[in-house]
Structure 1
């Protein structure tokens, strides 16, 4: 319990420190060097806590308007949460599907080769190439795949979901493929094959149960990859997500609220994947 409290306090102070960086860092025009004024930190922390204690999230600048964060954060939070939940969970499901359960089919080998090829390309480059491809498709067919309008509804949501899910899919697929190859050579798998057990039964009851701990251990990294990509995707595609509060202001209040919201989205996404894996085990595996 004490350790949890210590970690919570550390994360709280770290997020506030990151949010306060624009206020702490300055530029010396004469020497053309960065200056750090850490004396502002106590006041920054105090102002943030005072604002929250008064029941207000503060304000942020939207163009020439000064708006209340509490008025806009609900829709922005739900948009980012939906993108993360769908993107990461689909990435996990596809990784398990192609890495374990249909790995024996010929078409899966082609998909494996394609995913391994994409895994060598940096995520940022994949995102840029996807945007270029979407524009090319629109010019050739007239079919609009993406929209850069923040009020475009599903047209501004589904494509970011796909892009957010790319990094988790590629990372988990490589992990699952390697572990599947290692586990397939174990003695208990060979024994199960020798006894004439069906391949689906072996994959469900033996292979998946031994791969699942590795997936759970890597979930924090998977979610962090998705969060990092979402910063880029929401900015490039003009998505009205939670990152808007971070990009549109240099003040501590909106940046801190945005970072705390991203942390909450990460936790919800993490536990949603754990729930999916738990329901899958209860529905298909015999304990």
Structure 2
């Protein structure tokens, strides 16, 4: 029952957010802004009518009117792949440097670098990365990004890197703090006194006690990546699912875009949970 209630609430929230551009009215004579809720019934009815007819509707792309169903598959896959690689990279880097490689000196320098980067807002980091990529092209002639929608791999791999920045910073700090607290527990000291190897302790004792914190904060990691994805796809002109949200103020494409982003986040979340489960079953002894 609770899941059904949450699903209904999310559905109503999404269609309400998608309707804001259509019901937001600007009165140039009285110089005020107000919401015209009388349009909601027509918008929702049209939306359900399109779905019932087996169509997702149309959206405006420049001077062209295109069918959403003709473009949504490729855009969906690009956003899904970008977000999945970004979150997976954040989890892997966090586990490596936060737990399994934390005893090495190079990790301390990596920790200092991430602590410095974590003080800078995500948007500033993204803009700085774009400027850096442009400077690299000016100096060396090597193109690392492409602002064209048909840029291929050049328009995919760099957005993946930028998408992973915020979740990596958060995941590393989370695991570093939890590792420091767990390392001081009595059972860890007992394992060390018995002469157990560090890798064995990290796998069989430390990770097992830190894993619940990873799973609990995984939703926040995904949400951070999604927030970056909205900015990155817009600035780098990536042909992802956010195109339906930013390039049109129509109710139909915005609603489809938001529901698609919700589906992408769920796929990424459960995919990372599956990866963590396989890792635990393969390397951790119960």
Is TM more than 0.5 here?
yes
What secondary structure is seen at the aligned counterpart in 2 of 1:103?
coil
Where does residue 265 of structure 1 map in the other structure? Answer: 264
Where does residue 57 of structure 1 map in the other structure? Answer: 56
Query: What are the residue-to-residue correspondences of 1:134-145 with 2, within 5 Å?
Result: 134-145=133-144
Where does residue 12 of structure 1 map in the other structure? Answer: 11
Q: Which runs of 5+ in 2 are unaligned?
A: none
Where does residue 232 of structure 1 map in the other structure? Answer: 231
Where does residue 114 of structure 1 map in the other structure? Answer: 113
Where does residue 273 of structure 2 map in the other structure? Answer: 274
Distance in 2 (CA, whole Å) between partners of 1:199 and 1:4 is 42
Where does residue 161 of structure 1 map in the other structure? Answer: 160
Q: Which runs of 5+ in 1 are unaligned?
A: none
Where does residue 248 of structure 2 map in the other structure? Answer: 249
| Root-mean-square deviation (Å) | 0.7
Distance in 2 (CA, whole Å) between partners of 1:238 and 1:261 is 18
Q: How many residues are aligned here?
A: 286
Where does residue 48 of structure 1 map in the other structure? Answer: 47
Deviation, 1:30, is 2.1
Deviation, 1:8, is 1.2
Deviation, 1:28, is 1.6
Distance in 2 (CA, whole Å) between partners of 1:64 and 1:134 is 31
Q: Which runs of 4+ in 1 moved over 3 A?
A: none
What secondary structure is seen at the aligned counterpart in 2 of 1:47?
helix
Deviation, 1:41, is 1.3
Deviation, 1:168, is 0.6
Spell out, residue by residue over 1:10-63, the C-alpha distance to the aligned partner (whole angstroms, 9 max, x if none): 111111111100111111212211111112112211111111111100000111
Where does residue 178 of structure 2 map in the other structure? Answer: 179
Spell out, residue by residue over 1:197-247, the C-alpha distance to the aligned partner (whole angstroms, 9 max, x if none): 000000000111111100110111111111011010001000000000001
Where does residue 95 of structure 1 map in the other structure? Answer: 94
